[in-house]
């Protein structure tokens, strides 16, 4: 009897709850809480996305500015045509094209006549205005495929494509006339300069130095011709109206 009573007094055993309903306590509960606290809120995510977009826009703008600066490295800041570095790059490219495809091209070396008196009498500001006007005149009188560059103080170079010797010589004369036909008003004076142009055809075996040397020699020969008063020469000077 005692045994039965003792047996009946035992507490009934609790059924084990399913795992899905069992509350997590201790280590597992702490880990879940930490994990939940680490999840970013929607506001944080949106702010980070906006920052990423802003950085991407800044990167794109920086790349555009770098490309612009790289392009400007080869441009003369005063006249806005190619500088000597840009000209030498284009001359090398032209020689490579001539050598590979057998096409024709010419270099016209243009040196201004009477430019020093402009600086001496009217100052470098006047000289800068004249150089800008001459660069613009040269650019207007060549094709879009041709190249105009300022390679020295008052020296310019023009690269012509698909021309023979006669056409290049005719263009050189036209450029001399274009320079002389570009008067510049400066205060009460009209400034006019002349130009001497020498021509050299590009050959398949030429180096850039070869072409420049021939064009430079032709330019000095033309300058001597103009100085001696031969046909086509004009006196360059600063004249008052």
This prediction's pTM: 0.69
Considering the candidates 76, 113, 154, 206, report the single residue annotated as catalytic: 154
**128 catalytic residue (yes or no):** no
Mean pLDDT of 45-68: 77
Give the C-alpha separation, 195 to 232, whole Å. Answer: 11
pLDDT computed for residue 16 by the predictor: 53
Cβ 82 vs Cβ 75: under 8 Å: yes
pLDDT computed for residue 233 by the predictor: 37
**Structure confidence by residue, pLDDT tens digits, 104-140:** 999 999 999 999 999 999 999 999 999 999 999 999 9
């Amino acid at each position: 009897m005692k045994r039965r009573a003792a047996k009946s007094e035992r507490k009934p055993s609790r059924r084990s709850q399913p795992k899905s309903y069992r509350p997590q306590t201790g280590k597992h509960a702490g880990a879940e809480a930490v994990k939940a606290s680490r999840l970013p809120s929607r506001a944080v995510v949106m702010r980070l996305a906006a920052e990423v977009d802003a950085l991407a826009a800044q990167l794109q703008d920086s790349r555009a500015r770098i490309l612009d600066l790289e392009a400007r490295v080869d441009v003369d800041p005063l006249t806005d045509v190619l500088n000597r570095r840009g000209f030498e790059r284009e001359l090398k490219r032209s020689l490579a094209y001539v050598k590979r495809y057998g096409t024709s091209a010419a270099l016209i070396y243009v040196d201004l006549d009477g430019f020093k008196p402009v600086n001496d009498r009217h100052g470098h500001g006047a000289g800068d205005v004249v150089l800008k006007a001459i660069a613009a005149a040269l650019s207007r009188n060549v094709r879009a495929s041709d190249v105009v560059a300022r390679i020295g103080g008052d020296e310019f170079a023009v690269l012509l494509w698909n021309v023979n010797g006669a056409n290049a010589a005719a263009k050189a004369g036209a450029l001399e006339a274009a320079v002389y036909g570009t008067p510049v008003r400066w205060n009460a004076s009209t400034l006019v300069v002349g130009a001497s142009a020498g021509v050299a055809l590009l050959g398949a075996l030429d180096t850039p130095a070869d072409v420049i040397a021939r064009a430079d020699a032709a330019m000095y020969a033309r300058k001597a011709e103009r100085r001696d008063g031969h046909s086509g020469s004009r006196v360059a000077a600063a004249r008052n109206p």
